Amino acid sequence: MIIERVVTNLEKMDKDEIKKRHIEKVFLESAHLMKRIQRIKTDHGNELGIRLKESRDLLAGDVLYMDDKNMIVIDVLSDDLLVISPRCIKEMGTIAHQLGNRHLPAQFEDHHMLVQYDYLVEDLLQELGIPYKREERKVKQAFRHIGHSHG
């Protein structure tokens, strides 16, 4: 089976609609959410090809296939993350500036900044005294690098 479009996302579906279907999952690393063309295998051992026609990243909860009884859904494997919890706007600005200079992609959940684990960033956080935790956590979308040059 070749998947050319995402049907919907679980967050947009009625809970009863989800419950009446058997869910088969595809577990992806967050970096693979950016790939529009890939070969995958479900948790039931079924092989699928993804060749998305539209230019978009996959998201956790995306439904790749659905009929009256079944659906195939994207799930994301946990990443090794630094969960940064600045106490004030000055700390947020300081760490955001430092990470921006390194071109590190970040995501935000509630009052936390999430970055993929890097021992140099951990050293920087310790040096600056900014609270953080290292956690294995699932993210909903890929960490996307933004192209930029200093030229």
Q: Per-residue pLDDT tens for 26-84? A: 999 998 998 989 999 999 999 999 999 988 889 999 999 999 999 999 999 999 999 99
Q: Where are the alpha helices (DSSP H) in 26-111?
A: 89-101
Give percent of the chain above pLDDT 90.
77
Contact of 91 with 108, CB cutoff 8 Å? no
Mean pLDDT of 100-118: 91
Contact 13, 35 (CB under 8 A): no
**Equal CATH topology for 2-76 and 79-137:** no
CB 24 within 8 Å of CB 70: yes
At 141 the pLDDT is 81
pLDDT of residue 142: 81
Calpha distance 149→63 (Å, rounded): 36
**Number of Cβ within a 10 Å radius of residue 50:** 22
66, 8 Cβ separation under 8 angstroms = yes
What's the rounded mean pLDDT across residues 108-124?
Answer: 93
Among the listed residues 95, 92, 84, 75, the one whose alpha carbon sits nearest the alpha carbon of residue 139: 75
The domain segmentation of the chain, as residue ranges, is 2-76, 79-137
Query: Strands 47-51, 2-3: parallel, antiparallel or unpaired by DSSP?
Result: parallel
Are residues 106 and 120 in contact, defined by beta-carbon separation less than 8 angstroms? no
CATH number of 79-137: 3.30.70.790
Edge-to-edge strand list for the sheet holding 107-109: 107-109, 112-116, 79-84, 132-137
Percent of the chain with pLDDT over 70: 95
The mean pLDDT value for 85-110 works out to 92
Per CATH, which fold does 2-76 belong to?
HSP40/DNAj peptide-binding domain (2.60.260)
- Residue 151's pLDDT band, with cuts at 50, 70 and 90, is low
pLDDT at 145: 57
pTM of the model: 0.76
DSSP alpha helix (H) spans, the chain: 15-19, 89-101, 119-128
